[in-house]
Structure 1
Amino acid sequence: MSRLSFGIAVLLASGGVFAATPEWVARSDAYTQPVLKDTGKYQPEESTELGDESFDTGVADFKPRDYERQLADTEKRLQALRRERAAEKDVKVRQDLDILIDSREKLIASMKLERQYLLNYVNVGELVYGGLRALLDTRNKPARQKLALVRLKRYAGTESGYTPMATLVRARTEERLANKGLIGPYVGEVEEGLNNNATYMNGIEELLKKDGLSGWEADFAALKAQVKAYDEWVRSRILPRARKEVRLPEPVYVNRLVNVGVDITPGQMIERASFDFQEVRDQMQVVAGTIAAQRKLLSPDYRDVMRELKKTSIPADQLLPYYRERLKDIEGIIRAHNLVTLPAREANIRTASPAEAARTPAPFMNPPRMIGNTGEYGEFVIPLANPNAKSKERMDDFDYAAVSWGVTAHEARPGHELQFASMVEQGMSVARARFAFNSANVEGWGLYSEALVLPYMPPEGQLAALQIRLLRMARAMLDPMINTGRMTPEQAKAFLMKEVVLSEPFAQSEVDRYSYRSPGQATAYYYGYVKLRALKTLAEIELGERFNLKAFNDFIIAQGILPPELMKQAVLEDFIPAQKAAK
């Protein structure tokens, strides 16, 4: 999701002022460039999201022997990186080479495991929507947006030398269908993809019209027809092979945990998170009792108090102004209590389109481009509904007054918006910004940010923020419980609605996430948060009265997106000694 690369200079927070790239960063980036090119060769859409314009007209490689070719290239790159690591003398550059080596080792392990066990399902409608949306992003310059017309032609196969994407994906999948030992995709994933593709096609058309491009109509009509035909093939060939049992093979699930930064077993995760779930629920009960007494509510139970808070819904046309005002409140708290350094500019907040909501039915950070950034920043995006809901119940989880405190702290400031903006403004090696990335280090900071602001929120804001934290504990329990067969998605959904007080649409999006959207990823919030809070405690013990919270948080932000173990190393070897020397 979030990646970063720079050439000779980076834009600083003051605006228009440039600083030279440190020599070690330039050396590191030179080692990283071939790895970036490998990514672009097979997944150019991902490179587009990174900001690497050299792949903006490319399309995903589903030509014959795509797996064998990518695996061979990755193994060759890994050997080259190991040789370079052995010869490199600079400590920081060696650390970046370790990051690159680890990323290649994980990619190879993942490719082999999924090839061994799974019949992969590719939703062509979602694939082409993502690839075109990345180019049609309003933050891109018009010349880059126009390249979407080239990618569109190549997706549709209307350019000479290109086969329709739907035809290539179908051919590769047919090859795998012959292996009866492979486990099919989860039936819910396939059905959701089929249901959402009309929304994705409408989303593409709206983006093309919005950007004022011309000459795309025939190519888009061809692509739309191809996606429709592909979906019919999916119904006849993939749905019969889809598995009814949601759980993944254990080696595949454990590998996915590793890839998001979790290095403990599913059983250990369940045990730890179950304990913390009880702790947070007890904290909620204390705060709920205070609110119930103040408001003279009939019930002090946290579930009933949360339902009362949700009644203060904000009309859709007032939601953005409300969140912007809440951000100002939080920024005032941050400055008053010296929590972290803030930039002078305002953060970007907007609501999601229907296609974006279908793809990500919860508040999210749309990161800035991380390669070739010229001042673009991330966007805090708020969906107003979940198109994948199983009922007509309203999603009331993000549009009431109290919840705006925790959501804004997580997605905007001091959370993800500040996290990614710091990377853009300070600059850092591509390896640290792109290949050290995992959900634990990103989402750990988001949840940590909520905790920074929570003591200064009003009681209603505290209760809603604790509810968000409770959800993260629930995720860390339920995701592995579903994927180890200890709970069904239906049971998990009922638990979320009863104990975490989620609406039906949001609870549905949560269990979809654990079941097939991204099994294992939801556990990373909790795990990254635990690691970061433990690291803060360690620094406090080491420094005693010399510990400075703002200095610690600024240091963490300045490291970019480092995995927990590398972040710990940086704190122990750089931050703590520097603080001791400065006092």
Structure 2
Amino acid sequence: MKKALISLSIALALTGMVGCQSSPQQVNQQADQFTTQISFEQFSTQFIDDLWQLSPTWAMYNGKHINDGYLEIPNQANRDKTLAFINTQRGWLKTFNQQTLSASNLIDYQLINNLLNKLDWQITTFKSWQWDPSNYNVAGGFAQIINEDFAPLDQRLASVVARLENVPAYYQAARDNINDPTLTHTQLAIQQNRGAFSVLNDELVQKVNDSGLSNEQKALFQQRFTSAIKAINEHIDWLLALETKLKAEGSRDFRIGAELYEQKFALDIQAGMTAKQLFEKAVADKNRVQAEMAKITATIWSKYFDIPKPTDDKKAIRLLIDKLSAKHVKRDEFVEEVRKQIPELIKFVNDKNLITLDLNKPLVVRETPEYMRGFAGASISAPGPYDKGGNTYYNVTPLDHMSNESAESYLREYNHWILQVLNIHEAIPGHYTQLVYANESPSLVKSLFGNGAMIEGWAVYTERMMLEEGYGNFEPEMWLMYYKWNLRVIANTILDYSIQVNGMGEEEAIALMENEAFQQRAEAEGKWRRATLSQVQLTSYYSGYREIYDLREELKLKQGEAFNLKQFHEQFLSYGSAPVKYIKQLMN
């Protein structure tokens, strides 16, 4: 088969020679290049297959069901196996001459290389498998099997039975790994592992009892289910004792410091600049956006106040935002209001011809599952490229767990205007739309190993693009709230770097978010928590947004009247979730 493919590549090269009268030397170079492209594409396909064999759970999350019944045990043997895989794949990469690869394949080469470097770094340098107990939770894999209709129920339940076998060993390995953990990640692990019982529950037991599984399978399920529940409870008890000890004796700082931060930024963001440079850019942008907000405030102040506008611009902006924020949905209607807005966004995108939407790919708004709560109030769970027809879930956390005071603060943050911006970001034409396009990319590498800055940056870019195209009827209130939201994106970068590298404390961080980014107290407290649980990810929004917006403006200037916004969007998204700097190369 390989020989036939190489022969085909030479034939194609020779066919091309006839029209352009290439020299024999050029013909040989073209043949070599075609052979290299096919060889690299064979390698990338084999790389993905080998990766899924190494981590079938990762494959399952991407819609590739090769061994759903196997739960990997996160022990030293597993890490050694991963490092051996990395070394083998690096050896294969060295056999390719990057100068002979096509632009698209060169980007795939760089993405694979970056992924290998990241996996290596996570195991040998970052070592969050030691200090972050929230890495360990079995619920997600079981939920994926139970809730996604990718196969007959009996087949999926058989995988559940098989997967349950390793749950006790999984949690034993977790406890063996955990060493000098942070308090914040320990507390998150407690919350999320308690949420596992929303998946492994009586409803699952009833499904198995009512299924077509054999009596032997049902008996094995009951035995393994009982052992799994016991293992999870034992682990939670162990975590609770650990939490008590950490509170009494002190714990590891959740801050990772400048050196690790720069390394993680380079691997995660791939932005062509350092974290410090992005931080400095964000500080400058913060001042620019605040100036735009001051202009809008001056224009509409008299519409809402009978008193003179304060001379302090930030004070005036804060007063106007507080006034407008009182307009929000009722607490118990929050999730339903999100559902209602999705058709309106679809209609606007179609009417303005901004991008082609594939409405055959379902978007389901749901309450965030309990095992996923505690990190973000809204998120997207999308199917991978192997399961293109699967549901994309827009997870929205209801406010029933909040006090009245906290719920009101939260609703004022996600008020009438900002809730619309949030839905643009998460759904149409933000994350949901981008991830549907990513699944259609001819390059599985770009679709599967997506760049977080590109993914988040696209969602942030669409917020501004929609308003520029007239969403909200150019209402100044909408623009003011958009700038407030955009300022939060900018502040995310400032906040994350300041906390993780510069040692910023909670009160100073909340003051930044409240006084400089005009956020509500509940939102500021939630963002502080998020910044203690993650590193670098908060910078991805701003980094990707600036790169995408700047690329669009560059092409508009270059192409003039020939520039077409819909064409730009669809071409940009056609390359999958590659880093923006690589997409820019392809588009140019």
TM-score by length of 1: 0.81
Offset at residue 560 of structure 1 (A): 1.5
Residue 165 of structure 1 corresponds to 170
- Higher share of residues assigned helix: 2
Amino acid at match of 1:68: D
Moved more, 226-235 or 142-151: 142-151
Three-state SS of the structure 1 residue aligned to 2:380 is: strand
Residue 188 of structure 2 corresponds to 192
Taking the aligned partners of 1:388 and 1:120, their CA distance within structure 2 comes to 29
Taking the aligned partners of 2:252 and 2:75, their CA distance within structure 1 comes to 30
Cα contact 2:148–2:390 (8 A) shared by 1: no
2:107 maps to 1:99 = no
Residue 250 of structure 1 corresponds to 258
2:68 maps to 1:56 = yes
2:553 maps to 1:543 = no
Structure 1 vs Structure 2 CA RMSD: 3.4
- Within the candidate set 373, 394, 410, 1:380 is matched to 394
Cα contact 1:29–1:430 (8 A) shared by 2: no
**Any idea what the Cα deviations from partners look like across 1:486-543, whole Å, max 9, x if unmatched?**
4113421343234434344432331222222x21111010000111111112212221
Taking the aligned partners of 1:522 and 1:122, their CA distance within structure 2 comes to 21
Offset at residue 269 of structure 1 (A): 2.4
- Within the candidate set 418, 421, 428, 2:436 is matched to 421
Residue 537 of structure 2 corresponds to 521
Offset at residue 468 of structure 1 (A): 1.7
Amino acid at match of 2:194: A
Q: Percent identity?
A: 18
Taking the aligned partners of 2:287 and 2:99, their CA distance within structure 1 comes to 51
Alignment of 1:183-582 (within 5 A): 184-205=180-201, 208=204, 215=218, 218-236=223-241, 239-240=245-246, 243-261=251-269, 262-296=271-305, 301-315=316-330, 318-320=333-335, 322-345=337-360, 348-355=363-370, 358-373=373-388, 375-385=389-399, 392-394=406-408, 395-396=410-411, 400-424=415-439, 426-435=440-449, 437-455=450-468, 456=470, 457=472, 458-516=475-533, 518-572=534-588
Cα contact 1:559–1:567 (8 A) shared by 2: yes
Pair 135,77 (structure 1): closer, same or farther in 2 beyond 3 Å: same
Alignment of 1:50-129 (within 5 A): 50-84=62-96, 92-115=104-127, 119-123=130-134, 127-129=137-139
Q: Using CA pairs under 8 Å that are at least 6 residues apart, name the structure with larger relative contact order, 1 or 2.
A: 1
Three-state SS of the structure 1 residue aligned to 2:138 is: helix
Pair 151,442 (structure 1): closer, same or farther in 2 beyond 3 Å: farther
Pair 264,210 (structure 1): closer, same or farther in 2 beyond 3 Å: farther
Three-state SS of the structure 1 residue aligned to 2:131 is: coil
Three-state SS of the structure 2 residue aligned to 1:380 is: strand
Q: Which has the larger radius of gyration?
A: 2
Offset at residue 348 of structure 1 (A): 1.9
Taking the aligned partners of 2:405 and 2:193, their CA distance within structure 1 comes to 19
Amino acid at match of 2:283: S
Cα contact 1:49–1:134 (8 A) shared by 2: yes
Amino acid at match of 1:230: H
- Listed as ranges, the gaps of 5+ residues in structure 2 are 1-34, 211-217, 310-315
Residue 32 of structure 2 corresponds to none
Amino acid at match of 2:173: L
Offset at residue 272 of structure 1 (A): 1.0
Taking the aligned partners of 2:292 and 2:387, their CA distance within structure 1 comes to 45
**Any idea what the Cα deviations from partners look like across 1:114-156, whole Å, max 9, x if unmatched?**
24x98333337x5211221222234544446425523542243
Pair 351,308 (structure 1): closer, same or farther in 2 beyond 3 Å: farther
Pair 332,454 (structure 1): closer, same or farther in 2 beyond 3 Å: same
Amino acid at match of 2:230: A
Amino acid at match of 1:92: S
- Listed as ranges, the gaps of 5+ residues in structure 1 are 1-22, 158-163, 178-183, 573-583
Taking the aligned partners of 2:191 and 2:348, their CA distance within structure 1 comes to 44
Cα contact 2:499–2:505 (8 A) shared by 1: yes
TM-score by length of 2: 0.80
Pair 210,283 (structure 1): closer, same or farther in 2 beyond 3 Å: farther
Offset at residue 76 of structure 1 (A): 1.2
Pair 493,213 (structure 1): closer, same or farther in 2 beyond 3 Å: farther
Pair 515,169 (structure 1): closer, same or farther in 2 beyond 3 Å: same
Cα contact 2:364–2:394 (8 A) shared by 1: yes
Moved more, 98-107 or 332-341: 332-341
Offset at residue 28 of structure 1 (A): 6.0
Amino acid at match of 2:293: M
Residue 130 of structure 1 corresponds to 140
Three-state SS of the structure 1 residue aligned to 2:66 is: helix
Pair 210,40 (structure 1): closer, same or farther in 2 beyond 3 Å: farther
Amino acid at match of 2:513: L
Taking the aligned partners of 1:405 and 1:312, their CA distance within structure 2 comes to 13
Taking the aligned partners of 1:37 and 1:293, their CA distance within structure 2 comes to 63
Offset at residue 482 of structure 1 (A): 0.4
